[in-house]
Amino acid sequence: EERTGPEVWKQTDGAVDIFVHGIGTGGCIAGVGKYLKGKKSDVKVIALEPSEARVHTGAPMAKHGIVGWMPGFHSNFLEGVGLPAAQLSDAPRGVVDEWGHVSTPEAVEMSLKVTREEGIMVGPSA
């Protein structure tokens, strides 16, 4: 709420419609989502999880290779913590409007593509 949200808002001159973020601890997406929705209520927030470990949507934790994403627990920053897996779903909740997922091979492939075609050195979590 105090740093990244205002930075995104300022750098886009408020012309942000969608914020997509891979979940690590959940703090960044929760704070940025809250800030952006406070500025523009129809901003869409999309949370990404590894396809192999969609714990926020009810799947069991499993190994994946997207470093920085999903440390193996449901984030305390995002609504749904403490709920049984059967009660979690892809339905919007809290600041998250949509739950997406990316597999480790997809993340690695895209990071290589961005590096090769755009000259931007990024890792799979980007």
Which pLDDT tens digit goes with each residue over 69-80? 876 677 778 888
CA distance 57 to 60: 9
Note the pLDDT tens digit of each residue in 10-68.
999 999 999 999 998 888 999 999 999 999 999 999 999 999 988 888 888 888 989 88
pLDDT for 43 = 97
Contacts of residue 120, defined as CB under 8 A and 6 or more positions apart, other chains included, come to 114
pTM of the model: 0.87
